[in-house]
Structure 1
Amino acid sequence: MALVAEAGSPVPPPADDSPPRRPVRRALKYVVAIGSVCAVATVGVVVGLNRLTDAGPVTERCTAELDGSDWYLSPDQADNAALVAGTAVARGLPARAATIGLATALQESKLINIDYGDRDSVGLFQQRPSQGWGSVEEILDPVYSTNAFYDVLVKVEGYEDMAVTDAAQTVQRSGYPDAYAQHEMRSRAWASALTGNSPGVLSCELGPVADGDQVAPDAARDVIAGRLGRDLGLAPATGAADPNRQDPASSTVTVDATPLTPDDPERGAWATGQWAVATAQATQVVEVHVADRVWLRDEAAWVQAESRLGRGEVRITADAAE
């Protein structure tokens, strides 16, 4: 039966038989809890980036500059870019080949050696075993897959004069033939640096090597020497020109890059030096000396060196346990 109020009398509010507003309070608790978690996570990220230094947060990235523009890659991408471009130099191919190789790998895998892809595609260049590129194990070896790519590219008549996307598509036969073009400028910048045509333009911002990751000096030299041989086909100097060859406490490797570019030792030195910077995260390199310049990990920059190295000579120093 409905209540009817007398004229001029207020209608009394209906009795509230609902339970106390606990859901609202509970929701507020959830919001506060979630906010606290996010705050802790944010603090954790900042602390992690600080790497326990007083230099402020470290955004780990690598940069290649070309015509006033900076083109960035992550340290992992830079490491693979060093292999792709270094292989082109070691094979005596022009910088254009390196640009095409880098643009292809950026499009296919974002320059990361992944073990999955469309259908049976794997690796840096997303090559397919079913299409005759090799076994899965072979293709997942970045050295194998990079050489396999160049083996086909060099058979493309006039590839040096073709548009980057056309040359890449001729090799890859992708369902997206124009997609490689978007990576051309970034690839040109990195190819120019890693082939030594643009000296002193490649740098990496990296945190310090953690104490627990440091290895003995001889082991540090072995890591650098192994990568020099794998990526560039170079070996550390073993003659008297290497002042560190008999010093077991030294984590420095001296290399003569002249065999890389016999007609232009200085270009070979810069190709090797900037390769050393691009791979510094994996090799724990902290200093790279080329000509009258030295790259310092702490400063993430090339600065004037106190002494000048000879033509074609590169000196690479890793952080190592004392």
Structure 2
Amino acid sequence: MPRNVSPARRHTRRSRLLRVTAAFGVLAALGGYLTVKYVSGSRVTEGCTVKSADGSPGQGRTYRLSPEQASNAATISAVGTSRGMPERAVTIALATALQESALRNIDHGDRDSLGLFQQRPSQGWGTEKQILDPVYSAGEFYRHLAEVPGYSRLPLTVAAQRVQRSGFPQAYAKHEPDAALLAAALTGRTPAALNCTPPRTTAAKADAAKVRAELVRDFGKDVLPAERPSARRDGKGTAGASATATATAARTVSVPVRAARASESDAPSRRGWELAHWAVARSEALHLDEVAYADRVWRAGDGWRTVRTDGTDGKGPGTSEVRMGLAP
């Protein structure tokens, strides 16, 4: 004879069944999301990657980092090269910031340590506001590094420790391979090595003036040409063409390629890739969706591609300038 089941127990069983069903539904939805996001191809994976010189897919070394980390790394590199510091100095700075803050501009740390390099106001590194400015903090790091005799020939841990006075000086060593990979790309030695897929999570409007201002902040005022007065309209029926050209120019920031270190045989090309990689690394913060240099074009979500000779991929700017296209 079947046993009577109380209403309370029947309710409990139904609730358990509903929870199990809901859990399976969540897992199915998650599985579908992951399939679309990862199985369909790496192009939709948000974040940044930097590859070694021989780094074709599946070969060489690859380092992955977030857009925030890439943006900070690009600023650290730009500040160094604008001061005439060699690639080795940039590697030391990046390894130090990887250890101290994981390349994040944090507002806390041991005692009063702050920022990318965990510099301390109480130890004369600057005010809190100054230290939390990546351009300032990177500049202070390089200023102290330049005072270390023969720093470029020292082991990275020794050079970094002479600046930082850390309680764990050997910790910098584990970051040297990743820092060297980043430095090779960000100083322009390795072409088309840095790629980012920005998430585009904000609705902020792209602003060419902001892009120019950030270029000057990171590289110095000589990175851009002096502004020329607007061309006078000739009144010969060219108003429509002028308006189109003006609209296009408003969505593009063109940066001339002038060698930062004229003594290098590959200086112009290296400078071009330095600027191009800076733009890609900062594409999320500055809302850039296209960067072009030489015969390569980077587009958000697609990565670097070689411009086709038939022109169907658009025209490359050559090696005389880097073009940065703003997102619509």
Please indicate the TM-score interval, normalised by the length of the shorter structure: 0.7 to 0.9
Query: By how many angstroms is 1:225 displaced?
Result: 0.7
**For the residues of structure 2 that align with 1:245 and 1:232, how far apart are their CA atoms?**
30
User: Which deviates more, 112-121 or 38-47?
Assistant: 38-47
Matched, 1:173 2:165: yes
The answer to whether the Cα contact below 8 Å between 1:244 and 1:253 also exists between their aligned partners in 2 is no
User: Which deviates more, 195-204 or 262-271?
Assistant: 262-271
Query: By how many angstroms is 1:24 displaced?
Result: 6.6
- Partner secondary structure for residue 301 of structure 1: strand
2:123 equivalent in structure 1: 131
Matched, 1:63 2:52: no
1:7 equivalent in structure 2: none
1:260 equivalent in structure 2: 260
Mapping 1:179-218, distance limit 5 Å: 179-207=171-199, 209=200, 212-215=203-206
**CA-to-aligned-CA distance 1:195-249 (integer Å, 9 cap, x gap):** 0111111111234x4794344xxxx211211111111122257469xx9996144
**For the residues of structure 1 that align with 2:147 and 2:323, how far apart are their CA atoms?**
36
**Where does structure 2 lack aligned partners over 5 or more consecutive residues?**
1-5, 55-59, 230-241
**For the residues of structure 2 that align with 1:124 and 1:114, how far apart are their CA atoms?**
7
The answer to whether the Cα contact below 8 Å between 1:225 and 1:236 also exists between their aligned partners in 2 is no
1:142 equivalent in structure 2: 134
**For the residues of structure 2 that align with 1:231 and 1:41, how far apart are their CA atoms?**
43
Mapping 1:291-306, distance limit 5 Å: 291-304=294-307, 306=311
Evaluate the alpha carbon distance shift between residue 185 and residue 41 of structure 1 in structure 2; reply closer, same or farther with a 3 A threshold. Answer: same
1:247 equivalent in structure 2: 246
**For the residues of structure 2 that align with 1:161 and 1:178, how far apart are their CA atoms?**
17
Give the TM-score of the pair, scaled to structure 1. 0.80
Evaluate the alpha carbon distance shift between residue 204 and residue 55 of structure 1 in structure 2; reply closer, same or farther with a 3 A threshold. Answer: same
- Partner secondary structure for residue 166 of structure 2: coil
Matched, 1:225 2:216: no
Matched, 1:315 2:318: no
Query: By how many angstroms is 1:40 displaced?
Result: 8.8
The answer to whether the Cα contact below 8 Å between 1:237 and 1:255 also exists between their aligned partners in 2 is no
Kindly name which structure, 1 or 2, has the bigger radius of gyration based on alpha carbons: 1
Give the TM-score of the pair, scaled to structure 2. 0.78
Q: Alignment partner for residue 153 of structure 1, among 131, 140, 145? A: 145
**Where does structure 1 lack aligned partners over 5 or more consecutive residues?**
1-17
